[in-house]
Amino acid sequence: MAVIYWNSAWQKLRSPQFRSGLYLAQWVHTYSQVRDRLPYRRQFAVPGFVRRHAGNLTDRDGRLWRAVAACVIAAEIALPPALSTADGQQVYGCILSSMELNLTTKRALVTGSSAGLGEATAKLLAAEGAAVVIHGRDKDRAQKVAQEIRDAGGTATVALGDLATDEGAAEVVRAATADGPVDILVNNAGFYRHLSWAEAAPDEWNDTYNINVVSGVRMIQQLVPAMRERGWGRVITIGGGLASQPMNTHPQYNATLAARHNLAVSLARDLKDTGVTSNVVSPGAILVEATKDLVTSIGPARGWGDTWEEIQPNAVQALIPNDHSRFGKPDEIAAAVAYLCSDYAEYISGATIRVDGGLIRSAF
Ligand SMILES: NC(=O)c1ccc[n+]([C@@H]2O[C@H](COP(=O)([O-])OP(=O)(O)OC[C@H]3O[C@@H](n4cnc5c(N)ncnc54)[C@H](OP(=O)(O)O)[C@@H]3O)[C@@H](O)[C@H]2O)c1
């Protein structure tokens, strides 16, 4: 319980909103103390609303200011995490750990976090207190995500590199470990092309396997040995429902998802008694930009409608019938990953958490 309270308070104290509020209060108070000693021109360098307010402060008011500031700080520190809003993100403008997973001492590398599921995952891990490394090949996209995390009070750095090559992967590892070891590795980077059996040439199979499977292996081989030495670590592999229930299209991609599930379980066996776990989060069809673009482009020709509101239910029914009649959301994948990263999931090893609305129909 104490850990949860401290974690919550620490997140709030680090938030820009809380700090800027305190700075302003401190500024008003300092100005009220020194205003009579400031030359006339310097006094007018101070914004009008501060001058008007602080100019009327007496010594008694100054003492009152300090008492109020002390009460605010005490209340912020003692404020129970249960006061979070429905979406669990903000309390009085301050970031709270939405699931209270206590990742404050952890460093996490989420590959492919410049967009989509990886971006949502990195943002949630940061909200849970982890220092995150944002990765992608496109510098601007990765920097933007890292900046958004820092603006929300989190800690984020960037590692750039193409994981399809040994050199690119080594560069990512070098940048990701520059500020400390990586405790959590989320192997998420990947791609697919919507091809038929006739279109998917052998080279396409090779490229897809390299980018979707071997990229993760490169990260595992370079980062997991240090986790073993420290006796704590988490490797989360993003798999997919197509691993066990493939469609007739993009077979080169379906097969890479199956390989990811398989290697993650093999790794779990290899990590026996090390304190490091390996598990899979298996998304169904999650609505990211590329999915929406694809479905919107094929929708009218298939008679699903013209607008997204018309197309979505028909597309879901035709392509991914599930118990919720909608596409999944990136945040829903992020939540499962974050849980597996926490100490609550210590006894989960070589498992798959399906986050697919019930798309995969099998009991196991
Ligand atoms: N969306 C779904 O419905 C769904 C379902 C099941 C599984 N998945 C899996 O979930 C993962 C994320 O999917 P998403 O939909 O979020 O994809 P996305 O929006 O296209 O994002 C893919 C990410 O991977 C990075 N990336 C791609 N190729 C890379 C390479 N060679 N080296 C380094 N980074 C690379 C991209 O960064 P840059 O472009 O900046 O390099 C980007 O950050 C993928 O592995 C996918 O197979 C997705």
Using the atom order of ligand 1, give the atom closest to the CA of residue 328.
3
Distance between CA atoms of 66 and 61, rounded to whole angstroms?
Answer: 9
In 126-285 the beta strands, taken as DSSP E runs, fall at: 131-136, 155-160, 184-187, 233-238, 276-283
Cα(111) to ligand 1 centroid in Å equals 8
State residue 30's pLDDT score. Answer: 73
State residue 157's pLDDT score. Answer: 98
State residue 9's pLDDT score. Answer: 60
Quick check: CB of 292 below 6 Å from ligand 1? no
Closest residue (by CA) to atom 6 of ligand 1? Answer: 240
Contact residues for 114 (Cβ-Cβ < 8 A; gap 6+): 134, 135, 136, 137, 138, 141, 142, 144, 145
> Going edge to edge, which strands form the sheet with 131-136?
155-160, 131-136, 107-110, 184-187, 233-238, 276-283, 352-355
Q: Find out whether 250 and 193 touch, Cβ atoms under 8 Å.
A: yes
State residue 21's pLDDT score. Answer: 63
Q: Please choose, from the candidates 229, 222, 253, the residue with its C-alpha nearest in 3D space to the C-alpha of residue 109.
A: 222
Helix (H) or strand (E) holding 179: none
Cα(75) to ligand 1 centroid in Å equals 42
Sign of the alpha-carbon torsion through 125, 130, 135, 140 = positive
Q: Which of 23, 31, 253, 347 is catalytic?
A: 253
Using the atom order of ligand 1, give the atom closest to the CA of residue 241.
6
Cα(293) to ligand 1 centroid in Å equals 15
The pTM is what?
A: 0.78
Closest residue (by CA) to atom 44 of ligand 1? Answer: 190
What domains appear along the chain, each with residue ranges and CATH number?
2-95 (no CATH), 107-286+328-355 (3.40.50.720)
Closest residue (by CA) to atom 42 of ligand 1? Answer: 112
Contact residues for 260 (Cβ-Cβ < 8 A; gap 6+): 187, 212, 213, 216, 237, 238, 239, 240, 243, 280
pLDDT in tens, the chain (364 residues): 344 445 556 665 655 556 666 666 766 777 777 766 776 666 666 777 677 667 666 777 777 777 777 776 676 566 544 333 334 443 333 344 468 899 999 999 999 999 999 999 999 999 999 999 999 999 999 999 999 999 999 999 999 999 999 999 999 999 999 999 999 999 999 999 999 999 999 999 999 999 999 999 999 999 999 999 999 999 999 999 999 999 999 999 999 999 999 999 999 999 999 999 999 999 999 999 888 998 999 999 999 999 999 999 999 999 999 999 999 999 999 999 999 999 999 999 999 999 999 999 999 9
Question: Is 92 tagged catalytic?
Answer: no
Distance between CA atoms of 312 and 292, rounded to whole angstroms?
Answer: 9
Cα(348) to ligand 1 centroid in Å equals 25
Query: Residue 238, Cβ neighbours under 10 Å: how many?
Result: 27
In the chain the beta strands, taken as DSSP E runs, fall at: 90-91, 94-95, 107-110, 131-136, 155-160, 184-187, 233-238, 276-283, 352-355
Q: Tell me the C-alpha to C-alpha distance, in Å, between residue 15 and each of 11, 50, 79, 97, 100.
A: 6, 23, 15, 12, 16
Distance between CA atoms of 215 and 217, rounded to whole angstroms?
Answer: 5
Sign of the alpha-carbon torsion through 149, 154, 159, 164 = negative
Pure H helices in 112-184: 116-127, 139-151, 166-176
State residue 66's pLDDT score. Answer: 74
Using the atom order of ligand 1, give the atom closest to the CA of residue 142.
40
Distance between CA atoms of 182 and 159, rounded to whole angstroms?
Answer: 12
Pocket test for ligand 1, best of 109, 117, 140, 312 (most atoms within 8 A of CB): 117
Here the tokens at position 145 are 């995500």
Using the atom order of ligand 1, give the atom closest to the CA of residue 285.
3
Query: What 8-state DSSP symbol labels residue 114?
Result: T
In 36-182 the beta strands, taken as DSSP E runs, fall at: 90-91, 94-95, 107-110, 131-136, 155-160
Cα(114) to ligand 1 centroid in Å equals 9
Query: What 8-state DSSP symbol labels residue 115?
Result: S
Quick check: CB of 258 below 6 Å from ligand 1? no
